[in-house]
Amino acid sequence: MNFIVSSNSLLKALQAVGGVLNTSNTLPILDNFLFNIGKNSLSIAASDLESTMTTQIEVQSKDEGSVAVPAKLLLDILKALPDHPLTFSINDSLGIEISSDYGKYSLSGFNADEFPKIPVIEKSSKVSFSAKTLHHAINKSLFASGNDELRPVMSGMFCQMDSSGVTFVATDAHKLVRYKRTDASSADVASFIIPKKPLNLLKGLLGGIEEDVIVEYNDTNVKFNFGTFTLISRLIDGKYPNYEAVIPSDNPNRMTISRAQFASSLKRVSIFANKTTHQVRLKITGSQLIISAEDLDFSNAAKEELTCAYEGEDIEIGFNSRFLLEMVNNVDTESLVLELSAPNRAGILLPEGGEDEGEDILMLVMPVMLSN
């Protein structure tokens, strides 16, 4: 089998699907890319058994066949070559020779039959999103998901769909993001949990895609089709926690503040917080917000005052500065709203004006007990 391909277009395709590869695999075949050569096309697949990604690129070829190619070796040589045509020749014993303007490189391929079969999604339902909508949903919510292996359902993103809209939820029990779209909907009522890894891959690829993403799903798998890419992932099995129950509905205290000022102040003050708790204290009285932090072990302390618009009773509440900053930095609007009910109840962060039409985003952060 022979084919000719641009080294640059091959490298881009391999780097895109190569995000699926793990650094250490139980099956040696998973350290390879699967090449399916057709008439003037090359299909490339990578898998870690949980997720499988494929893409197609144009090549010059009259042959057909398949071979598994060592991923790291191929990526390393392509990164070291400038953009020019490469000729791949694969013999019957799966020896691969790459010919370039600079010389020849030989490597051993593997039998394509050993590569895991690409899952077929049967009895599936379909829904379509614009790439921008899905990219935004992942960007805005995935950071709040957890990493606890004992609670796998929290390590992914919960997706809920019906005729009224689509809701994406991520939480690690300390922070929570609920991202709703009313301009996207599904005829079927469905909910499932997508793992973090395929979502991170999508996040990296969807930014440059203009067309729609077709999402196909059943009880065990989800499949994303966009551009020349297909990404199939196994869903996380389990029941997602009742996230609605932890969102306080009655929040009489409401502060509106400049997002940039609040973020800058939090960043400076948190430098002086205790390195274990990362605790910052917010004291709101009238139109004044005092942000303070101290680390008694090292006699470090900081305090800043900001002006805000505030409705409600005076309140003093503590938060983990890292969690609070993560949320503030994920707000796009110039102003944000912090809704509070009591020092021991969750705070709600909302963007203030200027958000997309059809978008409804709510961020929740749990308080930490203040030590007086």
pLDDT > 90? residue 116: yes
Contact 191, 237 (CB under 8 A): no
**DSSP H helices in the chain:** 7-17, 71-79, 131-141, 196-206, 259-270, 321-329
Q: Is residue 354 pLDDT above 70, yes or no?
A: no
Architecture of domain 2-114: Roll (3.10)
Q: What is the mean pLDDT of residues 289-306?
A: 95
> Which tens digits make up the pLDDT trace of 155-205?
999 999 988 889 999 999 999 999 999 887 777 889 999 999 999 999 999
- Residues contacting residue 155 through CB under 8 Å, at least 6 positions apart: 145, 146, 147, 148, 149, 195, 196, 236
Fold for 248-368, please state it: DNA Polymerase III; Chain A, domain 2 (3.10.150)
What is the per-residue pLDDT across 65-106, written as a single tens digit (0 to 9) for each?
Answer: 999 999 999 999 999 999 999 999 999 999 999 999 999 999
Q: Which helix (H) or strand (E) is 158 found in, with range?
A: strand 156-162
pLDDT at 357 > cutoff 80: no
3-state helix, strand, coil in the chain (%, to 5): 25, 45, 35
Residue pointed to by tokens 């691969």 = 96
> Residue 287 in contact with residue 309, Cβ under 8 Å?
yes
pTM: 0.90
What's the pLDDT score for residue 102? Answer: 92
Q: What pLDDT sits at residue 215?
A: 94
pLDDT over 80 (residue 355) = no
pLDDT for the residue 183: 81
**Which residue ranges make up each domain of the chain?**
2-114, 125-244, 248-368
In sequence order, what are the beta bridge partners of 178?
169, 362
- Whether 372 has a pLDDT exceeding 70, the answer reads no
Instruction: State pLDDT tens for residues 229-263.
Output: 999 999 999 999 999 999 998 999 999 999 999 99
Residue 114: φ, ψ to 5°: -75, -20
Residue 69's Cβ-side half-sphere holds a number of Cα atoms within 13 Å equal to 29
Answer whether CATH 3.10.150.10 is correct for domain 125-244.
yes
Residue 83 is given by DSSP the state S
